[in-house]
């Protein structure tokens, strides 16, 4: 009950999950995404301040020992990142990094599982997963060209998403941008994106943002 109540506080996340369900259905089950497939849960990637908020809610819903295990995994990943990129100790935001620098850091953590990934391929905070996790798997389309969303997606569906679904995707992206702008000003920070492991470590966020 507590989980459902908390999730309702983040309507954009629920709307994005529903969009994925509609898009998945429109592609007639041709996507490989299903329970136990965790290929996109391995490797670090940027998440937003909005994602950080909902991840923290998800952690708070877990039993203490379960939450501590996840935070410990995230802390170990953060330590490795800050050792190789000391600037993360004073500024955890990566949205303005040069592309080459971002790629190097992401490559470093390419084999790291998400701290919330369970041994059976499930997500420990599934109801509180980031926006990118809720939309991952739908092929992208640019000027008529369609690309698969991940390495598991070896065959891109011949069916294209309808204009209505693509417009809804754009509308949700616009809402995310607006909400991020508001949240960034509320928190008094300059960036919007952080690397995934940082989102699981509250004390790191407080220390770095106040530095």
Domain boundaries, the chain: 2-209
Task: Report the pLDDT value the prediction gives residue 61, as an integer from 0 to 100.
Answer: 94
pLDDT tens by residue, 111-158: 999 999 999 999 999 999 999 999 888 877 776 666 666 666 666 665
Structure tokens at 77: 């990943």
> For every one of its 211 residues, what pLDDT tens digit does the chain have, with 9 covering 90 and above?
444 445 666 899 999 999 999 998 888 767 777 777 888 899 999 999 999 999 999 999 999 999 999 999 999 999 999 999 999 998 999 998 988 888 889 899 999 999 999 999 999 999 999 999 998 888 777 766 666 666 666 666 656 788 999 999 999 999 999 999 999 999 999 899 999 999 999 765 545 554 4
Question: What's the CA gap between 59 and 207, in Å, rounded?
Answer: 19
Global pTM? 0.86
Q: Is 113 helix (H, G, I), strand (E, B) or coil?
A: strand
Residue closest to 56 by CA, chosen among 184, 206, 182: 206
Helix (H) or strand (E) holding 164: helix 163-187
């Amino acid at each position: 009950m507590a989980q459902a109540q908390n999730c309702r506080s983040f309507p954009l996340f629920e709307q994005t999950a529903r969009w994925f369900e509609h898009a998945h259905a429109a592609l007639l089950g041709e996507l490989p995404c299903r329970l136990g497939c965790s290929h996109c849960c391995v490797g670090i990637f940027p998440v937003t301040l909005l994602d950080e908020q909902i991840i923290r809610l998800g952690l708070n819903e877990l039993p203490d020992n379960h939450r501590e295990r996840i935070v410990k995994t995230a802390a170990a990943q953060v330590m490795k990142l800050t050792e190789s990129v000391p600037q993360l100790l004073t500024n955890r935001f990566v949205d303005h990094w040069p592309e080459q620098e971002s790629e190097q850091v992401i490559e470093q953590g390419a084999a790291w599982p998400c701290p919330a990934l369970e041994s059976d391929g499930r997500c420990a905070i599934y109801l509180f997963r980031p926006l990118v996790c809720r939309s991952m798997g739908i092929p992208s389309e640019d000027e008529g060209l369609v690309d698969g969303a991940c390495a598991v997606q070896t065959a891109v569906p011949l069916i294209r998403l309808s204009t209505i679904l693509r417009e809804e995707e754009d509308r949700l992206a616009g809402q995310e941008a607006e909400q991020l702008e508001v949240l960034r000003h509320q928190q008094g920070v300059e960036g919007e994106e952080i690397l995934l492991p940082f989102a699981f470590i509250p004390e790191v966020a407080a220390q770095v943002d106040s530095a």
